[in-house]
Structure 1
Amino acid sequence: MKLRIILFALISFPFLWSCDKKEIPVFASDDAGIYFQRLTNAVYGSTTEYYGDSTDFSFAGTNAYYTSHVLYAPVLTMGKVVDYDRPFKVVVDMEETTAVEGKDFEIELDSLVIKAGTSKAEVPVRIIRTETLLEKTLKIVLRLQENEHFKCYLETYKNTNLYTAKGEQISGVRYVFTFNEMYTQPNFWKNYAEKDYFGEWTAKKYQVVNQVCGLTPIDWQYANYYGYKMQSARLPFFARTVRIYLQEQADAGNPVTDSDGKYMQLAPNYEVDYSDYQ
């Protein structure tokens, strides 16, 4: 028996309701649809939800020893739940994607399935922490494609299930990841650490200092507050620690370069000897 998708949408997806009349294709009762949807907000004390079609991530708030991170694109289905696994198809939109697979991210697209008895899944993408992220934001764009199990009925839909809200249109077939590791110079570095300890601030030097000393952006933000690692009295220790690390790297034949390509250097009292490379 043929059912109109509009009837299904009104029952299960009130956020699709619109005052505009629109021709909607018919589908058989055994047909199933698939679409991207990330829950971004649920209003407390109500059934109202808001949705998104993208994820933004920054490594700036993570410890330096994390070299990668896994992000997920949530996928939901329309139609019956069945008692067998159903593969679905996702591709990377290479025209819109600025990240390079194998260098900036890793993804496995050959084993994606909606498990038996379920109506949702996730597409995992492992993003890799590279120096490129210190300078610019990269983007990965995924697209759902139809196969023998699922149709892409929802090209776009409203970003909330609250039918009285106007809402924004989001994509049901396109999901975007953006990621970077952008930093801004902490005031504490400028006022206390630059002249006598670490020298001129750069994003890469900031990353190295945090990695070697076990610091986070929060430690810089609340410097000299009780309970945070960055304290004025510890600056000489931190500067010595970073100098020892940089010198060891240089002596081992792996000198660390800064954002400008020159060998990384600290303030005069903590200079690293790069004479072997001159």
Structure 2
Amino acid sequence: MKNRNILMLWSFMLATIALSSCDQEIDHMYKEKARIQFKYYTLDFNKKMIVNDKTTFSFGMKDDKIIKDTAKIVVEFLGSASDKDRTYKIKVVADSTTAVAGIHYEPVSNTQIFRAGRLKDTLKIVVDRTKLSTSFTTPENKRLTLEMEPSEDFNLGMKDGLRTNLYINNYLSEPVWWKDGLRLPYIGFYHPKKWKILISFNASFSNSETCEFNYNNQGRSYFQGLASYLNAIPTFDDESGARIYIDRLVPKI
């Protein structure tokens, strides 16, 4: 029994030392350098985390006169804010990228500035619609894949946040929230004209990442209104000529 008590005491002491060592290593990690990453998740209406490693920039809602615009990708870090600007590094992943520098986007500098006093900042990329297809039935998305690299000011952050994709297109691409189970049975298949009608009902629908309306709240009246609108006012797909209803496309006869 005495030996057993001694063994238990030694086990407790070793466990305490191990935990203390782990705590010191974690603290040390943040004292050395902050760890940078792309923001790789969003929160839905119910505050549930949705992992997302892509950003879509669509010219679909833009005026035809707008040829170039700026796509924005959120960058964040693990650590404390700094009172001075810091630099981080990114690279274009060539074997995963279909967008062409100088055609679909302006070349991106390998070195970027993370501004002082911020926990999040924005990587800005100038994109161009000139050579992008406007087709909805045969959609074209050009992809720019970016990867974080360590710099003098930052180590690398969480694995899931080290690579991100920017998709560039010239049609009104499907919003992230469209296929949510609380909406899909009532708004049916996606079509850009259906989305534009919802936006005309309430400008809040224009947010492509999140939507505050579902069938259990005031969204019900909007979705019923969309169905009634499509039944009453003939609305057609520009490419095929098919008439758009809430749940189907009816081919042109």
Class of the TM-score when normalised by the shorter of the 2 chains: 0.5 to 0.7
Distance in 2, Cα, partners of 1:54 & 1:147: 23
Alignment CA distance shift 1:34-1:52 (3 Å): same
Q: 1:36 — aligned with what?
A: 38
2:167 and 2:157 map into 1 onto residues whose CA distance is 26
Instruction: Name the structure 2 match of 1:60.
Output: 60
RMSD: 3.8
Q: CA deviation at 1:144?
A: 0.6
Mapped to 2, the partners of 1:120 and 1:2 lie a distance apart of 30
Query: Could you say which residue in structure 1 is the equivalent of 2:157?
Result: 153
The alpha-carbon distance between structure 1 residues 133 and 85, as it changes in their structure 2 partners (threshold 3 A), is same
Amino acid of the residue matched to residue 30 of structure 1?
E
C-alpha distance 60-146 of structure 1, shift in aligned 2 (>3 A): same
Q: Is the 8 A contact 2:98 2:142 kept in 1?
A: yes
- Give, in whole Å, the separation in 1 of the partners of 2:24 and 2:38: 18
Which residue of the partner structure matches residue 168 of structure 2?
179
Query: Which residue of 1 is the match for residue 176 of structure 2?
Result: none
What's the TM-score, normalizing by structure 1? 0.48
- Distance between the aligned counterparts of 1:94 and 1:55, measured in 2? 18
CA distance in 1, matches of 2:78, 2:144: 25
Equivalent residues, number = 163
Displaced runs of 4 or more, over 6 A: none
Correspondence for 1:80: 80
In 1: Cα distance, 2:157 partner to 2:23 partner: 12
Q: Is the 8 A contact 2:103 2:131 kept in 1?
A: no
Q: Does 1:122 align with 2:122?
A: yes
SS in structure 2 of the partner of residue 109 of structure 1: coil
Q: Could you tell me whether the CA contact under 8 Å between 1:43 and 1:49 is conserved in 2? A: no
The percent identity for this pair of structures is: 22
Mark the runs of 5 or more structure 2 residues left unpaired by the alignment.
Answer: 1-19, 173-194, 198-225, 237-253
1:128–1:27: structure 2 CA closer, same or farther, 3 Å change rule?
A: same
Code of the aligned partner of 2:167 = T
Q: 1:144 is matched with which residue?
A: 148
Q: CA deviation at 1:127?
A: 1.3
**Preserved contact between residue 92 and residue 142 of structure 1 (Cα < 8 Å):** yes
2:94 matched residue in structure 1: 94
C-alpha displacement of 1:40: 2.8
SS at match of 2:155: coil
1:196-242 CA-to-partner distances (Å, cap 9, x unmatched) read xxxxxxxxxxxxxxxxxxxxx958x979x89xxx9xxxxxxxxxxxx
